[in-house]
Structure formats: C-alpha cells, structure tokens
C-alpha cells in the first residue's frame, strides 16, 4: 500500500503544541455512551449503551524508547446488551512516539459476545513499514487470522486513539483543515480534519463551549459503513474531547464526558 503526503500537508500535521502543555498528568476521562436508534425504530428512545474510560500517561517506554501511552476500555451496560443480545468489553492500548506524536503500536482486545478478537498494529516510521496481526481469541491457543505487512507507509501514522489526541495538540480555529494518516484493521487512509464552529455542549460533567471537529476520509469511507466522525473539543488550553458522535450500521452512537480526573 502506497500513501504519501504532499509537503504542505505534512508540515501542517507537525504543527503541534507540546503534550505537557495540553494534557494534565494522570488525566482520566470517563464517558457515558448512548445509542440513538435509526428512524425506522421510532418506537425506541435514545438509550444508555455503556461507559468508556480513557487514560493518558505522559512517560512510558516501548522497545527502549520514550513514548506516551493511551488506554481505553468500553463496557456495555443498561438496556443495550439486552436489546442486541451482545455484551461488549473492549480494551485498547496505544503507544505514541514522544518526539513526533506518531503511533508505534496499537493493541485491541475485542470481547463482543462470542466474538473474541486480538488485534495488533505496529508502525516503523523510519522504515516506512508496519504489520497487522489478528487472532481469534476464542480458541486455545488463539488462532492467527491475519499476518500482513504494510509497506510504503508515511513517516507518521496515527491509530484510532492517537488520532484524537494529536488533534488536541493542534491550534483549532474555525474553518481550518489539516490532514492525518490513520490506520485501523490493516487499512491506511488519509483523512481530513475540519474545524467547524463553536457550540455549547451539555454533558454530565457540566456545560462546555467546544469546537466541533469533523473527520472525513479523502479516499473512500472513513468507516466500513461510510460517514463521518465528530468530536467536540473544549475551548480552553486542554482541548478536552467532551463529546463524540459516530454513525454505525444501525443508528448513531454518541458519548459525553461525565468525569474528568487529573
């Protein structure tokens, strides 16, 4: 797979504020996740779907090099598992290069009903290569499903977690656009991040003035079902993602922050 950035785009992607100035040490964000059914399921209200907890660690080490560590865990609860018949307990871990804030490794442990998957993405910015590994964790020992090499990668690739955090480091201004190269499940896409207007967001943790940011894929759909991903970042020095929203196969999933721990 060949994917390159033009020089102006690459320069824009590197215009970042230091993480130490934006993200407080030990920051933990807890979100309430809700599901909005599609129009044809008009008889169902918006319902609670679970909780997402995201943590950022400034000082960590991976392969002997300094990195930032981002972890997340999504657990379903409420009426949603009963409605779908599937309980979710997904865990994510991202290691990000401390110098350039580029992903070096993303691990996903997906526990969704009987579907158990372990996925590992590795990126080597110096060599422009990567690897995508997927295992069926329902089997003992886990059965290898995919082992694919990624070639001709750009020097800086983001995963689904680091892409949100690297956006926090940008100077957000209405009408601005900047590129990211994002890899998930073995595919690599160039996406464009578009800063919209400021909105007032009502969350469990309080009321926030926040920048609405839209992420769209330059080539093809950002997700398997197409569509866009929206995040609202607080209009302050910390740029906390106070709300996010994504269209899924059936309806819409959105989350609002309910706890900000530092």
Q: Give the pTM.
A: 0.87
pLDDT higher than threshold 80 for residue 136: yes
| Cα 169 to Cα 79: distance, rounded to the nearest angstrom | 36
Q: pLDDT digits over 56-86, tens only?
A: 999 999 989 999 999 999 998 876 666 667 7
Domain boundaries, the chain: 7-261
**Which stretches does DSSP call E strand in 46-176?**
47-62, 65-76, 89-97, 103-112, 115-124, 129-136, 143-150
C-alpha 127, offset from chain centre: 24
Q: Which two tokens stand for residue 181?
A: 């190269």
Mean pLDDT of 112-119: 93
Q: What share of the chain has pLDDT > 90, as a percent?
A: 66
| Cα 74 to Cα 161: distance, rounded to the nearest angstrom | 13
Q: Which two tokens stand for residue 184?
A: 């998930």
Q: pLDDT digits over 145-155, tens only?
A: 999 999 999 99
């Amino acid at each position: 797979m060949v994917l390159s950035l033009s020089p102006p785009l690459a320069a824009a992607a590197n215009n970042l504020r230091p993480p130490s100035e934006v993200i407080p040490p030990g920051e933990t964000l807890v979100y309430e996740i809700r599901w909005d059914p599609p129009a044809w399921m008009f008889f169902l209200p918006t319902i609670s779907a679970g909780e997402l907890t995201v943590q950022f660690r400034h000082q960590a080490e991976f392969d002997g090099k300094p990195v930032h560590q981002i972890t997340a865990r999504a657990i379903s609860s409420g009426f949603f598992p009963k409605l779908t018949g599937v309980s979710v307990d997904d865990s994510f871990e991202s290691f990000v290069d401390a110098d350039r804030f580029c992903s070096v490794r993303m691990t996903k442990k997906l526990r969704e009903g009987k579907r158990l998957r372990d996925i590992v993405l590795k990126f080597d910015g110096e060599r422009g290569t990567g690897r995508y590994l997927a295992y069926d964790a329902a089997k003992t020992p886990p059965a290898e499903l995919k082992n694919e090499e990624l070639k001709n990668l750009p020097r800086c690739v983001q995963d689904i977690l680091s892409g949100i955090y690297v956006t926090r480091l940008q100077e957000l201004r209405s009408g601005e656009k900047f590129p990211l190269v994002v890899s998930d499940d073995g595919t690599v896409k160039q996406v464009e991040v578009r800063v919209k207007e400021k909105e007032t967001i009502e969350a469990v943790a309080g009321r926030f003035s926040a920048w609405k940011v839209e992420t769209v894929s330059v080539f093809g759909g950002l997700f398997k079902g197409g569509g866009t991903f929206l995040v609202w970042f607080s209009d302050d020095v910390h740029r906390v993602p106070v709300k996010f929203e994504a269209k899924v196969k059936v309806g819409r999933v959105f989350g609002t922050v309910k706890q900000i721990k530092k």
